[in-house]
Amino acid sequence: MIKKIIKYVTCLLPWFITSILPLNYKYYKEIIKPNFAPPPMFYGIAWSIIYILLAYTIYSVIKDYSMNEIPKSYKKTLLINYLFNQSFTIVFFGLNNNFLGFASCLGTLLSTLFLFEETEPLIGKKKYFLLPYILLSIFANILSLSIYLLNI
pLDDT in tens, 2-27: 999 999 999 999 999 998 888 888 89
* Mean pLDDT calculated for residue range 136-148: 98
- What's residue 24's pLDDT? 81
- What's residue 92's pLDDT? 95
pLDDT over 90 percentage in the chain: 91
- Average pLDDT of the chain? 95
HEC assignment per residue over the chain: CHHHHHHHHHHHHHHHHHHHCCCCCCHHHHCCCCCCCCCHHHHHHHHHHHHHHHHHHHHHHHHHCCCCCCCHHHHHHHHHHHHHHHHHHHHHHHCCCHHHHHHHHHHHHHHHHHHHHHHHHHHHHHHHHHHHHHHHHHHHHHHHHHHHHHCC
Domain range spanning residue 8? 2-150
pLDDT digits (tens, 9 = 90+) for 31-69: 999 999 999 899 999 999 999 999 999 999 999 999 999
Domains identified in the chain, total number: 1
* pTM of the full structure: 0.93
Q: What is the CATH number of the domain that holds 90?
A: 1.20.1260.100
- What's residue 30's pLDDT? 93
Q: Provide the pLDDT confidence category of residue 132 given band limits of 50, 70 and 90.
A: very high
